[in-house]
Structure 1
């Protein structure tokens, strides 16, 4: 790991975007034959770290061909417009549902502001710059991006968001999963491996679609998964399969606890309590090296967002 928080496997550079804290949000710089592609890009605050990563990889900004935000959530794509200004030859690859929001981010900003408030948007995400429409390529399901002869396959993966794709890199036999394959923070690793949990953050959580998207990725028998939150999990297909089973169990549990809390006057408080209990139980079973208070602290933001996302899902189902 270099001083810039960058490390490399298979010409895949993990860049810590410094979102919220260290080792919380990642972008990936994939390098092939002297050309580069960014997969996810953090926020406008991440720009110096991304440009340093280009330099550390021995490239110039003109040698980056692609920017590939997995979906339009601001911690993954908020910096896309500003990054495109720095990369004269890059094209941006967008999910069909994400493209309009990246070209005109006003609705995206308004939606995020409704959840977090204007002050938090400025602190966490900085300035969100539009991406020129003529520099956007629409990635329908199974769209292939050519990175100097290295194919990067984009598949439609709803469940966390309907505007989400994941990226298959056949060379490393790994997926770049955005938020579809959940969250896993390195401080929760144990002798049993990575601790993982699904993310249902607002506003498009769909449990059945999410399980289907995970199954689609598993069909490629991946050796590892590059999560935006945070870094690679799995060194073999057996590792990945175990993590997928963990995700399925928790998605089913989240669905049930959501339905159990629905219709109650204190629904949000019940969801927070039930999610906290679920993740603490999982952490005990996984023998994570943190005590309960530390686990709760590490997952506090995700517990809050997962509760909000479950509420959105329950309300949408009722409509």
Structure 2
């Protein structure tokens, strides 16, 4: 059975990378559904299984809403939409062309990961017919049978990023704007959270502003793609702001290093080790790298791109 909170919100583990790493969400309202994010091609069977678990036919899904078009959030969009005959896809205006023609997304990720990893991790990207795509500029409202889902432009992680505010539930689906929080790092102090600076559009000032914008809504909880529902959002926002500044400081200190990337990886690992220890987490360095190694590498790459942009 699917985990569910109130208001018909179901958390789906997409199976990407490891358990409880990458989530999609199914909202059910008045006998119809909307997915928020979808994982990769390999996640589609899990999303369809979620529909079966709640007794909802695929024809009753009205929407797939994407927070942004990075492949761990949107890679399976074309395959999923092919199985949802009546659904439309809502996406940030900057992401529209990538859904209709994902060749540039594929090429960009291919340059980072290589073809073998791309095939294994994501599968070939399938276009979404242009007539089924709805651009969702800032303030656009997706109407799920009377349940209003407001799309908010939230750059900082990516220029094509939006968060979705569910007015009925008073929660935000934040994609990567409100950071990463993996359950294996939870302690008595609650969730541990950190920003994601994944290449190529990290902008610290914009990310600070986007976090504050979501916080101003006074939501009861945030639903993160990585991973799940988190509460006590004001405290977590403070941690995110502090960590963004700390990561920027790490980048600036490494700016002129001849081995800049290696130094960024090392310094980020040191930073996260210190902060998880302060948080009361007692894992060793091996466990830290197991849980955050992918993010450390991607965050180092993203900070490097940010430095190169000047």
1:98 match: secondary structure: helix
Separation of aligned partners in 2, 1:57 and 1:100 = 33
Separation of aligned partners in 2, 1:109 and 1:259 = 31
User: Could you say which residue in structure 2 is the equivalent of 1:38?
Assistant: 35
User: Could you say which residue in structure 2 is the equivalent of 1:90?
Assistant: 87
User: Could you say which residue in structure 1 is the equivalent of 2:183?
Assistant: 186
Aligned mate of 1:278, from 271, 274, 290: 271
Aligned mate of 1:257, from 246, 250, 264: 250
**Does 2:292 correspond to 1:290?**
no
> Shift of residue 293 of structure 1?
2.2
**Does 2:22 correspond to 1:25?**
yes
**Does 2:238 correspond to 1:245?**
yes
Aligned mate of 2:68, from 60, 66, 71: 71
Separation of aligned partners in 2, 1:266 and 1:248 = 27
Point out where structure 1 has 5 or more consecutive residues left out of the alignment: none
> Shift of residue 296 of structure 1?
2.0
Normalising by the residue count of structure 2, what TM-score does the alignment of the two structures yield? 0.99
User: Could you say which residue in structure 1 is the equivalent of 2:3?
Assistant: 7
- Aligned 1:208-219 pairs, distance under 5 A: 208-219=205-216
User: Could you say which residue in structure 2 is the equivalent of 1:268?
Assistant: 261
Deviations 1:25-69 (A, max 9, x none): 000000100010000000000011000101111210000000011
Separation of aligned partners in 2, 1:110 and 1:314 = 23
Normalising by the residue count of structure 1, what TM-score does the alignment of the two structures yield? 0.96
Aligned mate of 2:134, from 122, 134, 137: 137
8 Å contact kept, 1:186–1:194: yes
> Shift of residue 143 of structure 1?
0.4
Separation of aligned partners in 2, 1:289 and 1:304 = 22
User: Could you say which residue in structure 2 is the equivalent of 1:300?
Assistant: 293
Point out where structure 2 has 5 or more consecutive residues left out of the alignment: none
User: Could you say which residue in structure 2 is the equivalent of 1:16?
Assistant: 13
2:63 match: secondary structure: strand
Separation of aligned partners in 1, 2:29 and 2:65 = 15
- Root mean square deviation, CA, Å: 0.7
Separation of aligned partners in 2, 1:53 and 1:290 = 33
Deviations 1:167-217 (A, max 9, x none): 001111110000000001001100000000100001000000000000000
Q: Kindly report structure 1 stretches of 4+ aligned residues shifted beyond 4 Å.
A: none
8 Å contact kept, 1:81–1:131: yes
Separation of aligned partners in 2, 1:316 and 1:101 = 23
> Shift of residue 289 of structure 1?
4.3
8 Å contact kept, 1:189–1:289: no
User: Could you say which residue in structure 2 is the equivalent of 1:58?
Assistant: 55
1:97 match: secondary structure: helix
